[in-house]
Amino acid sequence: MSRLFGTDGVRGLANRSLTAPLALRLGAAAARVLTTTGQGSQRRPTAVIGRDPRVSGEMLAGALSAGMASQGVDVLNVGVLPTPAVAFLTDDYGADMGVMISASHNPMPDNGIKFFAAGGRKLDDSVEDEIESAMLELEERGPTGAAIGRVIEESGDALERYLFHLQDAAPRPLDGIRVVVDCANGAASLAAPMAYEAAGAEVVAIHNSPNSFNINDNCGSTHIEVIQQAVLDHHADLGLSHDGDADRCLAVDSEGRVIDGDQIMAILAVDMKESGELRKNTLVATVMSNLGLTLAMKEHDITLRRTKVGDRYVLADLMANDFSLGGEQSGHIVIPSHATTGDGTLTGLRLMARMADTGQSLRELADVMTVLPQTLVNVPVEEKERIHTSEVVRQAIEEAEAELGDTGRVLLRPSGTEQVYRVMVEAPTSAEAKRVAGRLAAIVVAEG
């Protein structure tokens, strides 16, 4: 049987692959694994559940809540909030587990379910495997009478708690900074504008009117061209673009130039080194981060560590080694002293705080890093393992690396979700990156 959990929870087309009956069993199984229910504990276990505004979230929240309550878990429904807010509240309320219902940047018909352990921590693969096993072993009979869990509607302080928590991220007022924020008609629609305004920024919010159907619809971080134009139209100092569940943030400077996750990490790493917050002078990124980030960090005597693709691997390295900053090119930025997961609003606050502290524009700050041209080619193959073990491909990679030297980078890796091999090349010019990538892709085609 294929694994139910993917790289970021369980995701699929709502009411097709991701159904209410599946969510009910998933909620019950997660309750068994993540709480002390059924193990003689005298304390009633609790769970926090939140969602983004897409229409299927209500259905899935009901099913998940029923599953958890059937195992004796009291469920606190906090409604529409960003993923990082649900992670924070899981810890802040002292809950045994948390659940976020969201498909992030995916189209509205999709949805997803991700779990947090006590403390708001993402789950290890081994714990997810336990939940899948528990789904197959659920007993038909659960607790009865007063032992059944309750489903409680949150009284109204969840958003307030989250916003208060974010205040420490920008201790200096952001007065004088005008920001356009694209909320993607998603979970950030209330929280992000309120957080930025509370910090003192002048906020122009767009796509902040979710109607259950318009999340990520030609807006948000997957449609960065929208915020580029909005910044110019509103004569703003910068733009911030979130995804549907607000765990990522991309930026645009006052001239409409995109500032991606690598550049944001570079800005924050230098900032945190100067303030003494960058533990062990180390930044954690993935293998997909631009070589320009490596060169920029080297210039500032900051070590760059690389992990596999996926913010969960970045987070795991941060936690295991007590580092203080990491993220992905996509805009997932993790600052463990403030959050247990990526938090787009926190990222926006820290970015504007750096502008306020230095008096520099975002464009000036982003110049700390030069982005090298990058070409990515997805090559369909029949057997990914054949490419991985091919001596011809290995020699071609070595020749390309020798040709580029310290001025470029080559990365070939199999896709985790598709029957393709990804060929990525960075070089001093776009023409050179395309030429080398084309040559390598042709060899992969011949070998695949």
Q: What is the pLDDT of residues 124-158, one digit of tens each?
A: 999 999 999 999 988 777 899 999 999 999 878 99
**Catalytic residue ranges:** 104
Domains 10-155 and 374-447 share a fold: no
Of 125, 126, 64, which is closest to residue 97 (Cα–Cα)?
64
Of 121-130, 258-267, 296-305, the range with the lowest mean pLDDT is 121-130
* pTM of this prediction exceeds 0.85: yes
The H-or-E segment that residue 206 falls in is strand 202-206
Instruction: Assess contact for 151 and 141: CB atoms under 8 A.
Output: no
Helix (H, G, I), strand (E, B) or coil at 1: coil
Give the Cα separation of 132 and 323 in Å (integer). Answer: 31
Sign of CA dihedral 380, 382, 386, 391: negative
In single-letter form, the type of residue at position 352 comes to: M
Q: Does 367 show up as a binding residue in the annotation?
A: no
The residue with tokens 């495997």 is 129
CATH superfamily to which 374-447 belongs: Alpha-D-phosphohexomutase, C-terminal domain (3.30.310.50)
- Please spell the DSSP secondary structure of 379-408, one letter per residue: EE-S-HHHHHH-HHHHHHHHHHHHHHGGG-
Helices H / strands E in the chain, number of each: 15, 19
Rounded average pLDDT over 18-47: 87
243 is in an annotated binding site: yes
Query: Of how many residues is the chain composed?
Result: 448
pLDDT of 38 over the 50 cut: no
104 assigned binding-site residue? yes
Domain 161-366 carries which CATH code?
3.40.120.10
Place of tokens 């003689």: 40
DSSP state of 167: G
Residue with tokens 């990520």: 216
Q: In angstroms, how far apart are the furthest CA atoms of the chain?
A: 72
| pLDDT band, very low/low/confident/very high, at 448 (cuts 50, 70, 90) | confident
> What fold is seen in the domain 10-155?
Alpha-D-Glucose-1,6-Bisphosphate; Chain A, domain 3 (3.40.120)
- pLDDT tens-digit map of 97-114: 999 999 999 999 999 999
- The residue type of 27 is G
Which of 79-83, 168-172, 258-262 has the least mean pLDDT? 168-172
User: Does the annotation list 247 as a binding residue?
Assistant: yes
Domain positions in the chain are: 10-155, 161-366, 374-447
* pLDDT (0 to 100) of residue 244: 98
